Structures are given as C-alpha cells and as structure tokens.
Amino acid sequence: MDLWTAASPNGWKVSIMLEELKEAGIELPEVEVKNLSLMDGDQFCDEFTAVNPNQKIPGLVDGDVRIMESCAILQYLGEKFPSPLLPDGDMRWQVVSWLTWQAAGLGPTLGNKLSYTRYMEDVPAEQKSHPLTRFNNEAQRLYRVLNKQLEGQDYVCGDQFTIADIAIYPWVRAWKWQKVDITGHHNVMAWLERVRARPGVERGVKYCVPPEEAHQWSEERKRQVARAGATIASNANIQSAGK
C-alpha cells in the first residue's frame, strides 16, 4: 500500500489507524509513506492528483484501489482488516455516525477557526470578527456535544477505542494552536489524555514531520490565503447583515 500524507489532522488519522491495527495484532502489508509538503504545493502534482482528484491529503493506494478522504480511508482499512476498531453489528453504525460527525462538523469548524486565527494576517480585523466569533461559538457547541457523549465512558462510542476516536483526536489535540479553549470540557480533556497515552497513537503522530509554522509559508501562499479569507469574511458579513 502507498499512503500519501502530510503532518496535519487528516493525515494523522490514517497513520494512527495503521499503528492501532498493529496494536490489535493485525499483520499489515508493507506501507510506503509518501510525505507531501503542503506548503510547497506537492498535493497539486499530477501523480497525487491521480490518487485524489480533490488534491487534499491523505490518499491511499491499495493495489488497484485508490481512496481519497481520510474518514473513507479509515472505514476502508477497518473493513479490510477486521478488528475492534470498526466493530460489527449495531455498534458499527454508532461508530460511523460519529465518524461522519467529525468529517461534517468538527473538522471543518476547527479548520476554519484555525485559518482565521493563524493564517490570515493581512485580512483586516473588522472583516475577521464575524467569522472568528461564528466558528469559535460553533466549536464550543460541538465540544459540548462531545463532552456529553463522553460522560461515563472512556471513548466516544463506549469503552472500546474505535475509528471514531481516531478521526476526532488529531483535531482535538491541536486545540491550543486553534485557540479554542476546551479546558472547561472535563470529559474531553480526560479523553484527550487517555487517547494520547496509547502507544499506537503516539507512533502514528510521528509518521510525518511537524507542520510548518505560518511564518514559513511563501509570501504568495500567504497572499492566496488572505485573499480567500477576505472574500469569505465579506460574504459572511453580507449574509449576517441580510438576516
């Protein structure tokens, strides 16, 4: 198998999955890890685009099978290599539901909050004010949902660690970088430490070098992000004013 990835929450999902499968006693085929530099635009090269037309990491090639989207890859690996990470029966649908919750809500919200917090230095403060408030409030709402779900249980879907935890963890572990305060969500904080202590998780996060800081971005990349942020902020303010 070939894993195309980078040091990001979505990339870490798959590398953690591979290491957790090993922890579960699964014998995996050899995996060639192809690290991409997102700052240099490696994700737009023809070879990776053939794996993932959406040009977003990660991508997995398994023989003739090409899979894009991190949560789809988690489900594929869970089905190909059966283990408690993707349980059978009714529990599977609970796991898939929380997997989808992460992909549809938590990831996009925290990703947008991070972009406005860290990578849009050239966007005027008044244009960022509404999106920052909006995404921070939605992040807190989602964390309240997660905190309630974790009440009285070790992991997202009960006492068993699953791909739902794998999908959610890489985004939550970056809460300080995103500047989203989760210290009041005590169940989430305890879960975070519990997952972080797993050897498979620790090894999975080390597959790739740490993400580059914003000041290491090329000036052109910074301008592209700033232009995109200004457009989104302007549209958000217009929509808000129209309500």
In this structure, the answer to whether residues 95 and 201 fall within a common structural domain is: yes
Domain count, the chain: 2
pLDDT > 90 fraction of the chain, expressed in percent and rounded? 72
Q: Same domain, yes or no, for 34 and 112?
A: no
Q: What pLDDT is recorded for position 220?
A: 53
The domain boundary, picked from 80, 105, 121, lies at 80
Contact between 181 and 110 under an 8 Å Cβ cutoff? The reply is no
Last residue of a domain, one of 55, 80, 105: 80
Q: Which residues pair with 44 in a beta bridge?
A: none
32 beta partners:
2
Structural domain for 130, as ranges = 90-205
One-letter amino acid identity for 227?
R
Q: Is residue 229 part of a domain?
A: no
Residues in the chain, how many? 243
- Compute the C-alpha angle 56/38/167, nearest 5°: 50
| CA dist list (Å): 41 to 14, 35, 36, 232 | 21, 12, 8, 22
Give the model's pLDDT for residue 232: 41
The domain that contains 38 carries what CATH number? 3.40.30.10
pLDDT of residue 125: 75
pLDDT score for 207: 81
Q: Are residues 57 and 106 in the same domain?
A: no
Across 80-84, 92-96, 98-102, 123-127, least confident range: 123-127
- Residue 136 and residue 71 in one domain: no
Per-residue model confidence (pLDDT) at position 210? 52
Looking at the fold, whether 13 and 42 belong to one and the same domain comes out as yes
71 and 96 assigned to the same domain: no
When mean pLDDT is compared across 47-61, 64-78, 145-159, 211-225, the lowest value belongs to 211-225
Same domain, 61 and 99: no
Same domain, 96 and 18: no
Out of 56, 80, 104, a domain closes at 80
Q: Is 44 found in the same domain as 10? A: yes
Indicate the burial class of 178 (C-beta count within 10 angstroms; 0-12, 13-18, 19 or more). Answer: buried
Q: What percent of the chain has pLDDT over 70?
A: 85
- Domain match, 112 and 191 both: yes
**How would you class 233 by CB atoms within 10 Å of its CB: exposed for 0-12, middle for 13-18, buried for 19 or more?**
buried
Whole-prediction pTM value?
0.84
Tell me, yes or no, whether 103 and 187 share the same domain. yes
Domain CATH code at residue 190 = 1.20.1050.10
For residue 152, is it within any domain? yes
Is 191 in the same domain as 101? yes
